[in-house]
């Protein structure tokens, strides 16, 4: 992001993007629930070239203990980019960016989990970015919500997430790496579909009020598409379980 100088033509004469998508078109999305045996819940998400794994443990005893909340469970989230997830090897371990992303994802999830059912407990969410191509925080949050549901944790709803933004003076949905690097704005967002609440909203770059309204509109619509894919993943997962039980 940052509107750097480039010769790339982001929108062609037919109004299509570098990868042939329309401005309001998502990259292909694939979600699978329950992919890990040893976690309480898990999910694998592909959003375009992003590949993300989320695992959930809990509710379980909260460590460190001083973080315990007598009124509710806390959600502890660790977002991590693998060294091999980006072009140049990423230095392993937490950095400012991953601390920020972990925090905003935990806060988004806190809006839907019935944390008051589990005083003093911790619900631990681990998000591993296996391959990154912009929009990993959205893919990570989308995966984490499915993993929480897969763990059987009581929730008001799932949380679908997507980024909207602006390239070549055009409002676009679900920016890829080039669009994110050279675009004029990047606005990741996440919603609670049942209520329409926005539980994550960040903005890097600039949009006019009209562009922002347009971005919100296509972002909301896209979140509903992601939501359907999240639900399908959970239905498939439990259909498989039911079939095994019947055997």
Interface with ligand ADP (CB under 6 A): 86, 88, 90, 97, 132-137, 177, 180, 186, 188
Distances (CA, A) of 181 to 5, 86, 177, 203, 223: 10, 13, 6, 14, 23
Give least dist CB 204 to ligand ADP, A. Answer: 7
Q: What tokens appear for 104 in the block?
A: 């905003």
Tokens (6 digits) for 184 = 């004029």
DSSP character at residue 179 = H
Bridge partner residues of 4 (DSSP): none
Contacts of 119 (CB under 8 A, 6+ apart): 69, 70, 71, 72, 73
Taking the complex as a whole, the smallest distance from the CB of residue 87 to ligand ADP amounts, in Å, to 6
Nearer to ligand ADP, 89 or 194 (CB): 89
Nearest-approach distance from CB 143 to ligand ADP, in angstroms: 13
Q: How many CB atoms lie within 10 A of CB 158?
A: 22
Strand partners, 166: 171, 185
Residue closer to ligand ADP by CB (options 135, 193) is 135
CA distance 127 to 39: 12
Between 132 and 173, CB nearer to ligand ADP: 132
**Which CB atom, from 122 or from 133, has the smaller least distance to ligand ADP?**
133
Are 164 and 124 in contact by the 8 Å Cβ rule? The answer is no
Compare residues 34 and 183 and give the one whose CB is closer to ligand ADP.
Answer: 183
| Shortest Å distance, C-beta 86 to ligand ADP | 3
């Amino acid at each position: 992001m940052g509107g750097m100088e480039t010769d790339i033509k982001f929108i062609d004469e037919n109004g299509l993007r570098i990868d042939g998508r329309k401005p309001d078109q998502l990259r292909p999305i694939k979600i699978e629930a329950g992919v890990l045996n040893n976690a309480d819940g898990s999910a694998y998400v592909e959003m375009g070239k992003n590949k993300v794994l989320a695992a959930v443990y809990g509710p379980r005893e909260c460590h460190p203990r001083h973080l315990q909340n007598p009124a509710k469970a806390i959600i502890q989230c660790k977002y991590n980019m693998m060294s091999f997830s980006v072009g140049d090897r990423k230095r392993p371990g937490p950095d400012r960016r991953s601390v920020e992303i972990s925090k905003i994802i935990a806060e988004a999830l806190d809006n839907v989990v019935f944390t008051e059912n589990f005083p003093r407990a911790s619900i631990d969410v681990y998000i591993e970015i296996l391959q990154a191509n912009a929009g990993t925080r959205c893919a990570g949050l989308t995966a984490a919500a499915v993993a929480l549901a897969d763990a059987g944790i009581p929730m008001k709803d799932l949380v679908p997430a997507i980024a909207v933004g602006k390239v070549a003076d055009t409002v676009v949905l679900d920016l890829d790496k080039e669009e994110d690097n050279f675009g004029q704005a990047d606005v990741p967002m996440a919603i609670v579909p049942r209520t329409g609440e926005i539980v994550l909203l960040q903005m890097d770059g600039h949009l006019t009020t009209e562009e922002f309204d347009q971005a919100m509109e296509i972002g909301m619509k896209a979140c509903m598409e992601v939501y359907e894919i999240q639900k399908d993943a959970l239905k498939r997962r439990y259909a498989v379980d039911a079939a095994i039980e019947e055997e």
